[in-house]
Every structure is written in C-alpha cells, then in structure tokens.
Structure 1
Amino acid sequence: MELLRGAVRPYAWGSRTTIPELLGRPVPAPHPEAELWMGAHPGDPSWLVDSSGIERNLLELVEEDPVAQLGERCANHWGGRLPYLLKILAVEEPLSMQAHPSARQAAEGYRREEAAGIPRDAPNRNYPDPTAKPELVCALTEFHALAGFRDPHRTVALLRAIETPGLTKYTELLAGQPDPDGLRALFTTWITLPQSALDELLPEVLDACVLHVKDHGEFDTECRTVLELGETHPRDAGVLAALLLNRLTLSAGEAIYLPAGNLHLYLHGTAVEILANSDNILRCGLTPKHVDVPELLRVVDFACGEMPVSRGEATEPNARMAVYRTDAPEFELARIEWTDSDGEAIELDCTGPQILLCTQGELVARANDGATIELRRGQSMWLSAADPVVTVRPMGANGARLFRATPGTCPD
C-alpha cells in the first residue's frame, strides 16, 4: 500500500490548467498536459513513493515479482503484466477519430507486422503489441464525445436537414440501405474520396451546417460539432465521418464503454479513463498521424443505434460504490462517493492489483495492519495483491470521491 506518482503526457490536444490544478501545481502549465497515467505501461510507468520519499518503478516491481504484485491468477492469465491503465483525460481540443482492435485482430496484426519487419516504434505501425484495447471513459466534468454509429434512419434525417446538391447521392445511398451494411458503404465511400472530390463536397456540407445552426435546426449540436472539426481539420474526410456518429454529452459520473471496433472521438472535457494496457490504435482521420484505411475497415464495427450511457450499478453491502460493468476482462472501474454528512468507512476486499484515485476531497486509507495513507484530490495509491484488506473514509466534513481500478473477471 503506497502512494503512486503518475506520469503526465503533454499531447497538443490537452489543457494547460486541468491537470496542473488537480495536482496542485502552478496554473497555467507552460505546455498542454493531456493525460495523467497511473499504471505499469512500458512507455511511461508510474512510481511508488514510500513514507521516506523513496521511489520505485511500478513496472519493474511487477516484472520482478508478478505473483506478489498481481496475484497468481492475474499474473498467469496476463503473462505477468498489469492488464489495465488508469488515466485522467484533460481534453481541450478534439482527439483523432479512432477505433481499437479485438484480441484476435490485434494478435493477427501484430504477427503480420512482426513478420514484415516493421519496427514497433515506426510511425506506420498499427499493432505495436498483440493485445486488445477496450476502454471506458467516465466524466468528471461535462464531457463531449462522438461514439458509435447513429441509427441510420436518424442519420438520413440529419443529412436531409442539411441537404446540398453534392450530398444528395450519399444521402440516398444510406436511405436505400439504412442498416450496418449501408453505413459501411457510405463510410467507406467518404473516407476514400479523392481529395479533389472532398474539396468540392466539404465546403458545401459546412455551409449547409452554418445555415442549419442559424435556423436553430433539430441537429444544431451535430452541425456545430462538424463545423468545429472542419475548422481545425480542413480538407479531412473525418469531418464527413463525424456526421455518422452519435453525439454525446456526458454529465459527471456518466460513462460510456468502447469495445473493440467502436469508432469514437473525444471532443472536450475532463474524465477518468480505464483501458487495456495496449497501444493499438487504428485512426480514421482528424490527425496528422498514420491512417491505414484498409486496416481500419477490417476493425471498425458498423453496428448502430444509441450509445449506452451508464452511471454504474450500486453494490452490496457498499451502497456508496457504483461499478461500471463491462465485458472487458482487463479492467473494472468503480466510483465511491461520500456526501457532506456521510463519513462511514468502506472496506475494499483484496481482488488483485488495485489503483485508488481521489478526485474530490481528502481520504484516508487504513490497512488492517495499522498502516495508513492520506489521499488528497489528484493523488492515487497502489494496492498489490499481497497487501492486506484496506478501509477508506473521507477526512473532514466536505465529502469525497474515489475511483477504484481493478482487473476484470478473467475467463477460465
């Protein structure tokens, strides 16, 4: 049971205020800070900090004694790796539009690129590792995203609401087959358009979106999003693809789960994200990074409909704990909240390697051997599988919020 010092990732789409403010550092930061990583990712592992201030690399500790850190079952199933990575996302500008492979697709792609001799750190590498990358994002503030393909009938209504001469044939393409196959056909057509054709169609679509917004049309939010993407990524086919996805606004505590193949794009806001410990990303557009259209089309799932939003399921006997259920074996995320007048301690059973992250208030964690750790907002801690049972409770009368990351249920 030790404090965890996470790694800050300075991507250009990040915020100069969110993560520094969370960690109690001067605001604004000199450069954008997009993600705070908590885990044992080889690219930027966290560090354990003991009571004397000595720091140890979590990745090295897991590699040295995976059974003690992860537990025997977790260590055996995941090959001695911590299977998940916990993050804070500080999204100031949109990320790239992307999807992630299934376990089978990742393993096949990894073998294929290894055989081809593509370096694992090459910019055109799609599969730097052989594992899946499902993820779940839970809003800390109002959080905006595009995720999953909208019901095609609704998308046809949107396209007709912004109808232009150049758009008509594409609208009718989907109207004639309003199902996943029709979505695949339209999506494939748009992201493979020659640049000359794209340069004719996109200005028409953007002008039509401007008019729709001025008229306070039914699809105002969707059109505003397309206009924002068109401004930051002119001449990019991903702007058209954005017309096909569900536009979501999550309130604090609401979460979406993104399984393999789900095409998505985070737009703005702050969130906790938990994901499989993998780097496999297939990008669609809205990025200067590598885009491999044939491989993307092999990965994207064109199932359609409203994107499920979860606030977590209450658990017994800890009614303050809400668990975000998914089918991902790599991870599970839970949220624990105390109100101003509710300071009762909650016992956390030992279910394997855990990361506890405080996002509001102050907490104290106490092991049954008497050891204690205090967590302030923005701080996290590591509980190995060998650690004793821990109880957590808020300090003071202002309430607190804690997120708990654990492995999911490993298949037998």
Structure 2
Amino acid sequence: MTELQHQNNSQAYMVAVSGTVINLCLGVLYAWSVFSKELQDQLGMTATETSLPYSVAIALFAFFMVPAGIMLDRLGPRLLLLLSGFLIGIGFVIAGLTLNVVGLVIGFGIVAGAAMGFGYAAPTPVAAKWFKPHLRGTITGIVVSGYGLAAVYVSPLADYLIQGFGVANAFYYLGAFFTILIVIASMFMKSPPEGWKPVGGEPPKPKIKANGEQEKEVVRKDYSPGEMMKTFQFWSLWVMYAFSASAGLIIIGHVAKIAQTQGGLETGFLFAALLAIGNAGGRIVTGAVSDKIGRSATLILVFILQAINMFAFITYTSGPMLTFGAIVTGATYGALLALFPATTWDWFGLKNSGTNYGLMFTAWGVGGLVGPLMAGRIIDATGGYDMVYIVSAILLLVAAGLGFITKAPKVEYVEEDVDDKVASL
C-alpha cells in the first residue's frame, strides 16, 4: 500500500468517526420527549401543543434534505455542516427565549429542524463513498447510529439541566454545545479524491448472460433523480418509509409521557435513553444483516416486528415491560435509518446519492409530521394511547405487504466490453 493510499485510508475512518459525532449532536430530536414532558408539567401545555414543535422539526428536517442533497453533490459537505452547526445554536436560543408554542415551533421546529436537514444530509453518503460498496449497509449503520444514540446522553443531560437550571437555560447550554462540536467535526469531513479505490477494495462486479452467451462483467447504471421518481419502486419505498417511520417517531416523541401515564413512572428520560440504545444498535445490526440476507427481506422482518410491538404496547404497564417496548421500538425504528438509504443507493446508484436519498427522506418527514400530530389529537380526545398503537400497527402491516410485492428495479447495466453495449436485466 502506498503512503498516499494509507493516508487516505486514515481519512476514510476519520470521515466515518466525524460523521458519527455530528449525528450524536443532531440526534437531540430523539430527546424531545424530555422537553415535552416538562413543558406539559411545568407550563401546562397540551400533548398536541408539545407535539407541534417536534413534528415541524421533523418536516423541516426532511424538507431541507432535498436542497441539502443537491448542495452536497455539487459543493461538498463542509458548507452544509457549518450551516447546520450555526443554525442549531440559533434555533435553541430562540426556543429558550420564548418558551411558548410559537417560539418553540420557530426555534426548535423550523430553525433547528433546518439545521438537522443540512447536517444529516452530508455524513452518511460521504462516508459511503470512502468504503467498499458491498459493505454499504454496515458503514451506513455505523454512521447513522450516532443519531440514534444521541438520546442516551442528551436525555439525562437535558433532564439534569432542566431540573438544575430551568428549561430556558437547558436550551441555551445544549445549543452552544452542539454548535461547537458540529463546527469542529465538519473540519474533518470531505469527499474522497477522484479515482479513489474504496477501503478494502472493490467488490466483484456482477455478471449476466447476454443473449444466452457467456457471462460478461457489468457495471450498474446510476439513476438521475427524475429517472428514479418515475419508478414504482421509489414510490413504494416512499410509502413504506412514511408508515414505518411514523410509528417509531410517535413513541420517541411520547415515551417519557407514556412511562408516566401507563407505568406511573417519573423517570421518562431513562426510557428515552433506553430507546436510543436500541435505536443505535438497530442501525448497526440490521445494516450488517441486510448486507448478508438482502435489503428487502430485512425491511419486511423489521415492519412485522414493529407491528407486533405496537399492538403489544397496549399491555406495557410496568417498568420491565416498558423497557422491553422502548428497546424494541428503538431497534426497529433505527433499522429504517440504515436500511432505506442503503436500499436507495443499491437500487438507484451512488452518483446522485445526496439528491436521491434527500427525495426518499421526504417520506420520513411526512410520516413524522402526520404521525405525532395524529397521536397528540387522539391522546387529547381519548385520554390514552391505545388507538394510536392500533392505527400505527395496521399501517406497519400495510408496509410489510408492500415489501413483499416490491422488488429491485429492472436496472440497466453497462457492459465492460469492446462494444460498450448496454444489457438490460
């Protein structure tokens, strides 16, 4: 191995580590239930009111993933990450200064939500380009695990700051901390040089039989955003993503209150942390598993497990049961954030990875906007969560059904022979 190759290998691992650190900051979204509980208990807000900033943050997060993906493909990651770092600090200051529904929607929902979109768009596709494609699920799982794992430390830290210094100061301190860490980590993020050989070497190229003749080596064709959106597979994946993400985000946004309501427990921040552990673990494990058994099979398995867990949540009324439910929710939800980007890049190529996954990620935003708001209204109307669990479980079974009928696109491969022909599979 040459010295340059060795240095670039080190850079590849640094990119993965830096991306994980950035996601450890942006994952504050998953600690919202700690703020939500205190806003209800201390300031008398309703479940619908405290769901609104969270849902708006999810929607803006997803919305800004599209322009962020375009910027990433054209300008590289650092500008996006600097913008993300400064915006999240500004958003948290606005939230702390106001402490009302409008201010929280603007600060946490709009400004911090935009910061999450700009910041989340960069680390994973950039890291994926440094490593060999047939480990894409594993690398994606590791980098995005930071986002899921964030609540492990943010939830107890936020609870400590709220109890010791008040809700407003908790927003200020966390905002400053995230800004500093994201800006520092952004200095280590860059795309690989042209002609870079991914760490570990290229995987074997697929082979096909053209017109019944001998097998020929081929290279997969990349889809443009427009080509991708014309396929049935894109829209089927989009619906699956929306339904499955909605279920997980409902529990994430309400887990502290669920622990209080169903279990009589006042340690909701611990359940947020447990959920985050499952979230991070699910991303890593299912990313690696999908590299072995395939993305579609893994997605179907995850949807079914999610549905069973949502139906069972009605019966979770003790600490151990809620612990089990939180970990399963985290693991199955976290799996989505590893499987859907990897599936998008497998099926539609890496050339336009930022833009293409940004478009796919809008499903997560729609699910996160509609699901928690729907849940808040049902909870305010019925005084409980049972109907929320049932509706979410039914949508997850629909997603599993779509998974069974949706196969990879009938993609084109470019043959590597003298005639440079295109063979279609």
Q: TM-score, normalised by structure 1?
A: 0.23
Computing the radius of gyration from Cα coordinates, the structure with the larger value is: 1
Q: TM-score, normalised by structure 2?
A: 0.22
Q: Which has the higher helix share?
A: 2
